[in-house]
Amino acid sequence: MQFDAALAAQDAFSQSESELGPDWDHAIEIEETFSSNAGSTGRKAYEGLLDLAQRHPAAHSFHAFCIYITWQQATEETIARHFETGIRLCEAYLAPREAQTGKDLDQIKELYESFRAGLGLEEEDEIQIEFRKDTPKGGD
């Protein structure tokens, strides 16, 4: 990876204040709990941050923050659930491509491939992509 996910998370979080509006203070509390605790307390705080992201679908910096911390979770506790969560978050982040630009976009793309690799999912080559496009989708 060409960047430090922890530093990227801090940067993305600091850019989230205007996106979260009245939930900003709550986000700070949860993030402080997450950053300073391990085990079930840290896990609860992590889940709280993900829940907060769901309530703010247009908070792109905050979503990037959640992806970065999910990568940290995956490296600390290498279980499929973290990689699956990371893939889901990345796909949601990358879907409206016009909404994001710059450093976070490139880093999220890199993390997306890392999450996929963590589950043994390989990147599709051009032939696989074309095959998938040409394959009929249901019906007769």
Give the pLDDT confidence score for residue 123 in this predicted structure. Answer: 61
Q: Are 93 and 67 in contact (CB under 8 A)?
A: yes
d(CA 3, CA 18): 25
Residues of the chain with pLDDT under 70: 97-101, 123-140
pTM for the predicted model, two decimal places: 0.83
Q: What's the pLDDT score for residue 132?
A: 57
Instruction: Round to whole Å and give the CA distance between 130 and 119.
Output: 23
Q: How confident is the model at residue 121, as a pLDDT?
A: 85
The pLDDT assigned to 135 comes to: 58
Token pair of 8, please?
């990227």
Q: Which of 102, 36, 25 is nearest to 64 (CA)?
A: 102
pLDDT at position 54 is 96
